[in-house]
Structure 1
Amino acid sequence: MGQDRTEDALAKKGRMVALVIAGSMLLWILAQWIAPMLGVPGRFVFLFDFAVLAALIWSMVVTYQIWRARQDTKG
């Protein structure tokens, strides 16, 4: 019973990581495409880049935590 809850929680975390990666990449692509049309200065476009980079670093950390948790439950 406890094993199932742990697996469900890890699966939920995995889905969240997948959504963050997909959403941040979509946001980054849209920002790179729309910013020149709106005449946004390059220094503001870098803010989008850094925000996406932070999201990807966060997703790598959470992915590592999921991996470690699955290793611990294996035995």
Structure 2
Amino acid sequence: PVVEDPDCGSFIFPGCPKILDPVCGTDNLTYPNECELCTMNLRCTNTEQQDSPCPRETRDRQTDEGIQ
């Protein structure tokens, strides 16, 4: 998998678009989109592990906490 830093500078916080474009974080959670991953980065360090959903055995952030 390709590990890269998300481009968080392109988002205006708070509020992310409701666009489903899943990315897998290095915390092995699938985020609905890169903006949601960046929002989590405001609270903790997390990078984008791959530009797609995480493997099925990992947790899905969208279903665990819902898109806010």
Task: Normalising by structure 2, report the TM-score.
Answer: 0.25
Which structure has the larger Rg?
A: 1
TM-score (norm 1): 0.24
The structure with more strand, counted as a fraction of residues: 2
Which structure has more RCO (C-alpha within 8 Å, separation ≥ 6)?
Answer: 1
